[in-house]
Structure 1
Amino acid sequence: MKLPGLLIAFICCVNIAFAQRNDILKESTKYEWPKDEAVKKKLEYWQDQKFGMIIHWGLYAVPGIIESWSICSEDWIDRDSTIKYNDYKKWYWGLNEKFNPTKFNPEQWAKAGKDAGMKYLVFTTKHHDGFAMFDTKQSDFSIAKGPFANNPKKDVAKYVFDAFRKQNFMIGAYFSKPDWHSQYYWWDKYATADRNNNYDIRKNPWRWNMFKSYTQNQIGELMNNYGSIDILWLDGGWVRPLASVNEEVLSWGAPIPAWSQDIDMPKIAADARKAQPGLIMVDRTVHGQFENYQTPEQKIPEKQLDYPWESCMTLGGAWGFVPNDQYKPAAEVVHKLVEIVAKGGSLLLGVGPKADGTLPDDVIKKLEEIGHWTSKNGAAIYGTRITKNYHDGQNWFTQSKDGKTIYGISLLDRNLPKEISWQGSIPKKGTFITLLSNKQKVKWKLINGKVHFDFPKTEEKIALTFSFTPETN
């Protein structure tokens, strides 16, 4: 079945707005520190990285529409009312016969990430639509079984992970717990009413047990066949034990079934860590021992958080590739990165390759622009920790892990000030403040408890970073 090009464009525009708005996940309200020393060690290392790339790439790249969500039957998702729902799903599933990324270039992606100053990767091995971006033996619905099957790089995840490892990235595997293509999750016997599995698990325990095995086996493939993995990033937080559904979950506005969608996370974690010791588990929004860091989506918490977290945000308006997407200016991304790090988090920035397997030129350009700043100012970002006085006006503060150096980052806008000043974070008397990008020494003065100094000579237009020894040392 073919859908008109105008309809595809309509779906692309409308579903970006609706999907991004409805499925945004807030930061969780509870956190449980891991007890495994190997996990703690890797989590500490991850907290040094600060800036990562999340890549959404799948069937949805072919028509350039919002990832997976257009096939979900919920009232916030808009589609052309002249197209029957089942016909639309058949068209979407049929995209696997057209997905042939003959220009697949993970080395380009990894270089672009490194150029931006990114340090860790989260790659979408399978989104909610169930289309696997790795050579799974559990299903024929994968990139390795369609037109790309004869390509030597058909096992896409392997080559993505390898390319980013060569650039010294930590490696994360995104995996969707729900699988809308699987008959063990969306059973054709019934309509697919919403994002949840569409049959009563209590009445069909065999089918759900088959889904649990299917899920566990796919995650096992990723953990055992793709080299060293640092992070297992699990999405689809509605697949969870019913007992864990709380007011936070209810606030999403998503439907809640009367049965438990429990996939046995203790077994998944134990098996995964047997293959990958110290693995960081990110069972998003499901609090407890399998949510080693938390992931507020498309937002930044209002204040510092005293546990590991990252803000996952898109560079453009969508997670995956859509034509004519509007990408954030480099200055906006850097400003968000600075605020996030000063509040104790990391930024996971989302980009989407095109259907041919390459990143859009505009994405590469934006990442290069971001990298111009991180390459000169990275000491104030990577390997830092929070300070008590972390924010004053346009100024944000981080510190070295030993506490001997404070970094002050002054965000700039079009109207450059003649003077920079801030309250708190006082330098040690008699020392200079150093502009990080060019090692320029800046004289300062303290007036009524506030630091003042002239705007230094620089061509920097995004943010100025200063280092100094704090007064208390």
Structure 2
Amino acid sequence: MKFQKVSLFVLLASTCLNVTAQNNVPAQKMEWFEDAKLGIFIHWGIYSVDGISESWSFFNNYINHDNYIKQLDGFTAKNYKPKEWAKLIKQAGAKYTVITTKHHDGISLWNTKADKAITTVKDAAAKQDVITPFVRAIQQEGLHTGLYYSLPDWSHPYYDVFTRARKRYELAKEPNRWNHYVAYYQKQLSELSQQYKPELIWFDGDWEHSAEEWKAKETLALLRKHNPNIIINSRLNHHGDYETPEQGIPVTRPETKFWELCYTMNDSWGYQPFDKKYKSPNMIIRTLVDCISMGGNLLLDIGPKADGSIPEEQLNILKQLGRWTNKHATAIYGTRAGIPFENYQGKSALSKDGKTLYLYVYEQKPQLQLKGLLNTALPELSVVGDAASKVTVTTADAAIQLDLTKVNFDQDVTVLALKFKDKVQWQAPQEKEVSLENVLNNKHIGTALNQIASTLHVGKNIFDHSGLTLDGMETKLPTGNLTNPAVLDWVKKHAEALYETGKGLPEGHYEGLSALSKDRQTLYLFVEGTPTGPIALKGIKNGIARIRVVGEGSMINHEIFNKLYWSSIPGIVYIQAPKERLDKNMTVIAVLLDSPLALHREKVGAIENNL
């Protein structure tokens, strides 16, 4: 599994193909998948013996094929407990799972009868079929069955590609040999369909051949013969039902209705003992929220060891994920994409009937507001999973104001449920003209600061020609007897972020409000309240020189996850905002870039090349 930057032509072509395919997908067939929201991916194979990259390690000549295959002798599965796996997956909150039946290395994990297949039953130390007991266990737990299957088989004598540097033959010169391979892989798919009755087939590796060469239409018909409602991902040369962005959380909502982000806990799909760059449970939970808010699913990967045990770091993430999903189940399963950022400055989702709006809150803060909702009656309000918390709702200036002072915030993400009598309807908010004088005179500092940040975010700077100075000293602002001194003090302290700054980041790059310096080289992130996890930035192409807290000088750390060294697609920047340095009213974080801001908003697709 890999990512590769594609040309604009290919990108547009593939997008059109996928959209066309999905327009014909029966909604009833896809309903369980769309409702599920969370699945667990399992990459398990002989590569876990030495803890090296699955298949790609020999394909890229990091290890020769003979030494790679010797790992069969260490694949024991002696501590494999499929029933415990199934219970763990269910407790994590997943509704389906996808396990590798055969990766690109060609090692089949079940007792296949296909010609010249290498299997864990006859060739590995385990001497067992590890797929059958797992499928039985997950079906007993009521989970949906998904099977990963690699179209390429770099170890099979009938397959044309061997490694990056070597091919066994040219397809045009030996078409019969290729036809033998097609028969081989289609036989394996028939076996998987008949033995396990999967509800989903997760293909990979289609980039090595065309749809015609794979005989994609025939393969699709074969699978549908066994199960007319089989769901197939888009990696059968676009003969599928849903899109599969990989590793990179989409900045904007994918164009296709059905999609799923496949995502690792660290930087590896299979077990690699030296890869300790695990994301925190909080990061994983927020990634799930990201997917939910855009109407997609998260397929979260684990990589068991060769003996069948699951690494402690992965167990901990699954358990913490389960804590959050079990508490907030009503705001996860069966939901649909939420409302635009301009209506709610955060992540949101809607219930299937469209009458309940779920707001995901990433900070501990006293208030928030909704703009542009057309429903006339006020909603019933509750904090999901916490009956003791109370939220007060009022209206002001055509906005719904929520008082959160009596909320017990979740340690990761708090969820508010707003239940309306009718379907939630909204429009672009009709923003009132905001004057600097009114902002400075506002007795409610939270409202005043949100007005400042909101106007800057959309490119309206009320401080232009106001007498504000860059350092906040010797200002000539229009103050008077009605000026709120707390607002004025905040403005002076954070003058750098207000002086000649312009429009902030487009929706999707940051979960809050922002502004950009005149030279476009410093991002200012407005942070309301106390974040319950690291602040995330997506799709920033620039390098980061330093990050600091505006107005008090503290330098703060950041980490970058999911940055593939050979890819131009940027990783996710996570910023740890120290609680003891946060402003009690609104903090501003300055992110100094190494060049004028450049954003990545292109489609994220399947990795086709792993260097």
TM bucket (normalised to shorter chain) is: 0.7 to 0.9
Query: Residues 441-460 of structure 1: CA distance to partner in whole angstroms, max 9, x if unpaired?
Result: 41122333443322433151
2:206 corresponds to which of 225, 229, 237: 237
Deviation at 1:229, TM superposition (A): 0.7
1:175 and 2:144 aligned: no
Alignment-mate amino acid for residue 129 of structure 1: D
Partners of 2:201 and 2:232 within 8 A in 1: yes
Indicate which of 5, 15, 25 corresponds to 1:29: 15
TM-score, length basis structure 1? 0.80
Q: Structure 2: how far apart are the matches of 1:364 and 1:286?
A: 35
Where do residues 404-415 of structure 1 align in structure 2 (5 Å cutoff)? Answer: 404-412=355-363
Alpha-carbon offset, residue 336 of structure 1: 0.9
Which shows bigger deviation, 356-365 or 380-389? 380-389
CA contact (8 A) 2:390 2:407 kept: no
Residue deviations 1:263-311, cap 9 Å, x none?
Answer: 2112212121211231012241722xx2101100012222223410001
Q: Are the equivalent residues in 2 in contact too, given 1:68–1:129 (CA < 8 A)?
A: yes
> Which residue in 2 is equivalent to 1:165?
139
Cα separation, partners in 2 of 1:199 and 1:390, compared to 1, 3 Å: farther
Distance (whole Å) between structure 2 residues aligned to residue 383 and residue 26 of structure 1: 30
- Structure 2 residue 375 is matched with structure 1 residue 444: no
Within 2, Cα distance between the matches of 1:217 and 1:374? 39
Q: Answer yes or no: is 1:54 the counterpart of 2:41.
A: yes
Q: Residue deviations 1:52-76, cap 9 Å, x none?
A: 0010000100001111111113xxx
Contact kept? 2:234, 2:244, Cα under 8 Å: no
Q: Deviations over 1:109-160 (max 9, x none)?
A: 212211111111111000000011111112341111134455xxx1111111
State the shift of 1:230 in Å: 0.3
Cα offset, 1:20, TM superposition:
5.5
Aligned to 2:303: 352
What letter is aligned with 2:266?
G
Amino acid of the structure 2 residue aligned with 1:300: I
Pairing 1:72–2:59 present? yes
Amino acid of the residue matched to residue 314 of structure 1? T
How far 1:420 moved relative to its partner? 3.1
Residue 427 to residue 380, structure 1, CA distance change in 2 (3 Å): farther
Q: 1:284 aligns with which of 210, 226, 235?
A: 235
Report deviation, 1:104. Answer: 1.0
Q: Which runs of 5+ in 1 are unaligned?
A: 1-18, 80-84, 245-259
Between structure 1 and structure 2, the one with the greater Rg is 2
Q: 1:343·1:390 contact (CA, 8 Å) conserved in 2?
A: no
Instruction: Quote the Cα distance in structure 2 between the aligned partners of 1:463 and 1:194.
Output: 48
The CA RMSD measured in Å over matched residues stands at 2.7
Deviation at 1:101, TM superposition (A): 1.1
Report the CA distance shift for 1:314/1:225 in structure 2 as closer, same or farther (over 3 A): same
SS of equivalent residue, structure 2 residue 382: strand
> Offset of 1:423 from its aligned partner?
3.7
Asked whether the equivalents of residues 172 and 230 of structure 1 are also in contact (C-alpha less than 8 Å), the reply is: yes
CA distance in 2, matches of 1:376, 1:149: 39
In the alignment, residue 218 of structure 1 is paired with which amino acid?
Q
1:272 counterpart (223, 226, 239): 223
* 2:417 counterpart residue number: 467
User: Deviation at 1:425?
Assistant: 4.8
Give, as a single letter, the amino acid of the residue that structure 2 aligns with 1:192: T
Structure 1 counterpart of 2:151, one-letter code: K
Q: How many residues align?
A: 412
Written as runs of structure 1 = structure 2, the 5 A alignment for 1:380-395 is 380-389=331-340, 395=346
Bigger relative CO (Cα 8 Å, ≥ 6 apart) = 1
- Residues 426 and 51 of structure 1, relative CA distance in 2, 3 Å threshold: farther
Tell me how far apart the structure 2 counterparts of residues 149 and 207 of structure 1 sit (CA, whole Å).
Answer: 31
| 1:144 partnered with 2:121 | yes
TM-score computed with the length of structure 2 as normaliser: 0.63
Q: How do residues 54-203 of structure 1 correspond to structure 2 at under 5 angstroms?
A: 54-73=41-60, 79=62, 88-138=64-114, 139-148=116-125, 150=127, 154-186=128-160, 192-194=163-165, 198-203=168-173
Give the conservation status (yes or no) of the 8 Å contact 1:333–1:370: yes
**Cα distance in 2 for residues equivalent to 1:423 and 1:66:** 48
CA, structure 1 residues 35+399, in 2 after alignment: closer, same or farther (shift >3 Å)?
closer
Query: Which residues of structure 2 form unaligned runs of 5+?
Result: 424-611
Identical counterparts, % of pairs: 32
DSSP 3-state at the match of 2:241: coil
Amino acid at match of 2:152: P
2:192 corresponding residue in structure 1: 222
CA distance in 2, matches of 1:309, 1:340: 9
Structure 1 pair 438–299 and aligned structure 2 pair: CA distance change class (3 A): same
| Structure 1 residues 35 and 425: CA distance shift in structure 2, 3 A | closer
| Separation in 1, partners of 2:393, 2:172 | 69
TM-aligned CA deviation for residue 419 of structure 1: 2.6
- In the alignment, the residues of structure 1 paired with residue 97 and residue 5 of structure 2 have an alpha-carbon distance, to the nearest angstrom, of 22
Cα contact 2:117–2:156 (8 A) shared by 1: no
CA deviation map 1:232-288 (0-9, x unaligned) = 1110021332xx6xxxxxxxxxxxxxxx7x12112212121211231012241722x
How far 1:23 moved relative to its partner? 9.0
Distance 1:34 1:409 in 2: 29
Alignment partner of 2:360: what SS? strand
Does the C-alpha gap of structure 1 residues 36 and 343 become closer, same or farther in structure 2, counting only changes over 3 Å? closer
Structure 1 residue aligned with 2:260: 310
For the residue of structure 2 that corresponds to 1:336, the secondary structure is helix
Partner in structure 2 of residue 212 of structure 1: 182
